[in-house]
Amino acid sequence: MPTHTVRAACPHDCPDTCAMLVTVRDGVAEAVRGDPDHPTTAGVLCAKVARYTERTYHRDRLLHPLRRVGPKGTGRFERVGWNEALDAIATRLGAIAARDPQAVLPYSYAGTMGLVQGESMAARFFHRLGASLLDRTICASAGASGLRLVLGGARGTDVEQFAHSRLIVIWGSNSITSNLHFWSFAQQAKRAGAKLWCIDPWRNDTAEKCHAHIQLRPGTDAALAYALMHELIRHDWVDHDYIARHTVGFAQLRARAAEWPLERAAALCGVAAAQIAELAHDYARVAPAAIRANYGLQRVHGGGNAMRAIACLPALTGSWRHASGGLLLSSSGHFGVDQAALERPDLLGARRPRSINMSALGDALLHPGDATFGPRVDSLVVYNSNPMAVAPDSSRVARGLAREDLFTVVLEQFQTDTADYADYVLPATTQLEHVDVHKAYGHRYWLANNPAIAPLGEARPNTWVFRELAARMGFDEPCFADSDATIAAQAIDARDPRNSGIDFARLRRDGWARLHDATAPFAEGGFPTPSGRCEFFSAGEAAAGRDPLPAVVLPYECAEADPERAASYPLAMISPPARNFLNSSFVNVDALRAREREPLLLLHPQDAAARGIADGAMVRCFNDRGSYPVRCALSDRTRAGLVVGFGVWWRKLSAGGVNVNELTHQRPADLGGGACFYDCLVEVEPAAA
């Protein structure tokens, strides 16, 4: 039987959104590889997704619907038919919605980034039902909000242009782990003589390969950015023409920056003043200079304002004039997506359901309901997410999910920690088995995903499930009959000139297409802000009674903000991803888990010595929220006072049946309600023998 090749897209939550080629023989996907012609993928997939067939044909794939027979959390289920499962779910949701549809809470994130298998049919269903809205804050909302205040939206430097930068500042990103295809452009620049700076609390794999590394305390980036601004302004290394024509609020920003001389910022950040001075000098004197900021820097109380402060830098120096200057956090705002067509918020009619912050799921599930909160959550419908593993403050999430009176439905490819708590588990297709269309947040290409193989077992796409539920609930609006290909076509807003010549039929044939937008987005200003300028000073924020300028907001959990807590739990903890996992995805792929071996905590030798802890020992990492048994590695790649606990392990594949989120908290960041995973104090002690 000869093989054929199917054009697909990597579905995972990663800025790179790679173009994939799937080799299929006799209905079986034999291999996936990167499309060599796609300019950012360049024929390379990361180690995780190169094994996508292993994930798809995994022995543990869920292949038929399941109904719970044991206590919640124990993972005991029996097989049921689709009709039986869907009838029961529709009946139960209908009964809850008859009391108050807001008692139903959808819970989803980016298990797939596909616009079809993400929030299309699902959103239509929940809008029509009148369910609670979910505020999707768990990853990026603080930084995205900060960026929006200054630049107006998620736009920035074209990733391909970093190849020609002369200075690259990698800020809060472990690019080699989490943004590999950006890293290849940075390497091209490095080979051509560019200088690379990294700003990160630990010496991650990327920092190892940069020329200079500012190893700051987590959550202090805004102070660092202000000290840089102070230096730029003090030396008059700013572009007065760009500032005059394309920004607002320079005088106010200058006054605020004057509060952050090098020494003050250096003391707060825990770094040498001379290093900040050196970066300011490089940033001013080397052009084009570009910043690659990523979401690692905004998982703290002050994350939104940190991004806001950083976003002021390229306008001060006029670095936006160069295609290879500027700043990239996310490119998603370059895409013209017809969100309303996908999600159909009009199906709400006059209803305005409450919105629940997904990063405080534990609190939401444990809330008894009152006039402020609204009704108690009686049903949780989870798809594209594994909240039991990834949401903060796990012990409260577990208590919430264990409620006998909570009706939980989980659409999943695998029996995850979350699925263990479900009343019904519904088997979902993988990217090789369904249709989708993708934008990206790290490049500027639309991609199509053609199905390569038939669904395995009785697995079904998310869209199919919500279509079936809609039919059973009597939702007869025509949009519930749309096919997946129809939805994919609707996603590409035909009225948006950036989509000219691009439609789903073309994408299906060619695999991908570059959107049309200026390579240097703000060379001539044109910021999508209310003023049309880069807003150092936000009149909107001032009118709302908030700080009109970027603020320096300390972490909730640090010695300055909470000395009492710091006395009991003196170590700061960050929990960035392990390289071979993608959030909690891939933890169950044997070959990848074998590379990571077991949950690991980096501890500085000084902190270890003070606690009598030897390299490789099992330790107990704990605070007042929980306790996490973990293997520790002593390393000077972290700073004294900082531990690095790699995530996000499945609880049931970890030593104590818990993961690092046992220790994190649910408080929101300063902007956008973002999660604060890296704003966390802990103590570490040798594990009891």
Binding region for ligand SF4 (CB under 6 A): 10, 12, 14, 16-18, 45-46, 48-49, 180, 582
Distance CA 208, CA 199 (A): 12
Toward ligand MGD, which CB reaches closer, 393 or 482? 393
Pairing of strands 289-293, 167-171: parallel
Cβ–Cβ < 8 Å for 297, 305: no
Tokens of 250: 């320079």
* Minimum distance from residue 50 beta carbon to ligand SF4 (Å): 7
Toward ligand MGD, which CB reaches closer, 319 or 330? 330
State the alpha helices, DSSP H only, in 32-100.
Answer: 52-56, 82-99
DSSP codes joined into one string, 19-32 = EEEEEEETTEEEEE
**Sequence letter at residue 106:** P
Residue 652 contacts which entry, ligand MGD, ligand SF4, Mo ion, none (Cβ below 5-8 A, type-dependent): none
Q: Which of 626, 623, 624, 683 is nearest to 654 (CA)?
A: 626
Toward Mo ion, which CB reaches closer, 139 or 492? 139
Q: For ligand MGD, which residue of 197, 464, 522, 581 counts as binding (CB under 6 A)?
A: 581
Toward ligand MGD, which CB reaches closer, 117 or 538? 117
* Minimum distance from residue 48 beta carbon to ligand MGD (Å): 6
Toward Mo ion, which CB reaches closer, 136 or 166? 136
145 in contact with ligand MGD (CB under 6 A)? no
* Minimum distance from residue 585 beta carbon to ligand SF4 (Å): 9
Cβ–Cβ < 8 Å for 294, 263: no
Toward ligand SF4, which CB reaches closer, 570 or 577? 577
Toward ligand MGD, which CB reaches closer, 529 or 654? 654
Q: For ligand MGD, which residue of 139, 232, 266, 381 counts as binding (CB under 6 A)?
A: 139
Residue 575 contacts which entry, Mo ion, ligand MGD, ligand SF4, none (Cβ below 5-8 A, type-dependent): ligand MGD
Judge if the upstream peptide bond of residue 377 is cis by omega within 30 degrees of 0: no
**241-264 as b/e: b if 16+ CB within 10 A:** ebbeebbbbbeebbebbeebebeb
182 in contact with ligand MGD (CB under 6 A)? no
Distance CA 427, CA 82 (A): 10
Toward ligand SF4, which CB reaches closer, 8 or 632? 8
314 in contact with ligand MGD (CB under 6 A)? no
* Minimum distance from residue 423 beta carbon to ligand MGD (Å): 16
* Minimum distance from residue 16 beta carbon to ligand MGD (Å): 8
583 in contact with ligand MGD (CB under 6 A)? yes
Residues 6+ apart with CB under 8 A from 417: 386, 388, 389, 584, 650, 651, 652
Residues 6+ apart with CB under 8 A from 227: 260, 261, 262, 264, 265, 266, 276, 280
Q: With contacts defined by CB under 6 A, name the span among 242-250, 279-287, 407-415, 534-542 that binds ligand MGD.
A: 407-415
* Minimum distance from residue 303 beta carbon to Mo ion (Å): 13
Residue 49 contacts which entry, ligand SF4, Mo ion, ligand MGD, none (Cβ below 5-8 A, type-dependent): ligand SF4
414 in contact with ligand MGD (CB under 6 A)? yes
Residue 397 contacts which entry, ligand MGD, ligand SF4, Mo ion, none (Cβ below 5-8 A, type-dependent): none
* Minimum distance from residue 494 beta carbon to ligand MGD (Å): 26
Toward ligand MGD, which CB reaches closer, 138 or 280? 138
**271-305 as b/e: b if 16+ CB within 10 A:** bebebbbebbebbbeebbbbbbbbbbbbbbbbbbb
Q: Which of 465, 386, 457 is nearest to 85 (CA)?
A: 465
Toward ligand SF4, which CB reaches closer, 38 or 124? 38
433 in contact with ligand MGD (CB under 6 A)? no
* Minimum distance from residue 46 beta carbon to ligand MGD (Å): 7
Toward Mo ion, which CB reaches closer, 139 or 289? 139
Toward ligand SF4, which CB reaches closer, 269 or 589? 589
Residue 416 contacts which entry, ligand SF4, Mo ion, ligand MGD, none (Cβ below 5-8 A, type-dependent): ligand MGD
Residue 10 contacts which entry, Mo ion, ligand MGD, ligand SF4, none (Cβ below 5-8 A, type-dependent): ligand SF4
359 in contact with ligand MGD (CB under 6 A)? no
Distance CA 429, CA 62 (A): 9
Q: Which of 158, 132, 120, 130 is nearest to 39 (CA)?
A: 158
Under DSSP, the state recorded for 347 is G
Toward ligand SF4, which CB reaches closer, 113 or 382? 113
- What are 289's strand-pairing partners? 167
* Minimum distance from residue 527 beta carbon to Mo ion (Å): 25
574 in contact with ligand MGD (CB under 6 A)? yes
For residues 183-222, which are near ligand MGD according to CB under 6 A?
A: 199-202, 204, 218-219, 221
Cβ–Cβ < 8 Å for 124, 347: yes
Q: If DSSP states are collapsed to H, E and C, what string results for 89-146?
A: HHHHHHHHHHHCHHHEEEEECCCCCCCCCCCCHHHHHHHHHCCCEEECCCCCHHHHHH
Under DSSP, the state recorded for 217 is P
Residue 45 contacts which entry, ligand SF4, ligand MGD, Mo ion, none (Cβ below 5-8 A, type-dependent): ligand SF4
Is the CA virtual torsion 546, 552, 556, 561 positive or negative? Answer: negative
383 in contact with ligand MGD (CB under 6 A)? yes
User: 197 in helix, strand or coil?
Assistant: strand
- Burial of residue 99 (CB within 10 Å: 0-12, 13-18, 19+) is exposed
Q: Which of 478, 482, 470, 476 is nearest to 90 (CA)?
A: 470
Residue 678 contacts which entry, ligand MGD, ligand SF4, Mo ion, none (Cβ below 5-8 A, type-dependent): ligand MGD
Distance CA 471, CA 180 (A): 43
State the residues that interact with ligand MGD by CB under 6 A: 13-14, 109-112, 117, 138-139, 171-174, 177-178, 199-202, 204, 218-219, 221, 294-297, 300, 383-386, 389-390, 411-414, 416, 428, 462, 574-577, 579, 581-585, 647-648, 660-661, 664, 677-678
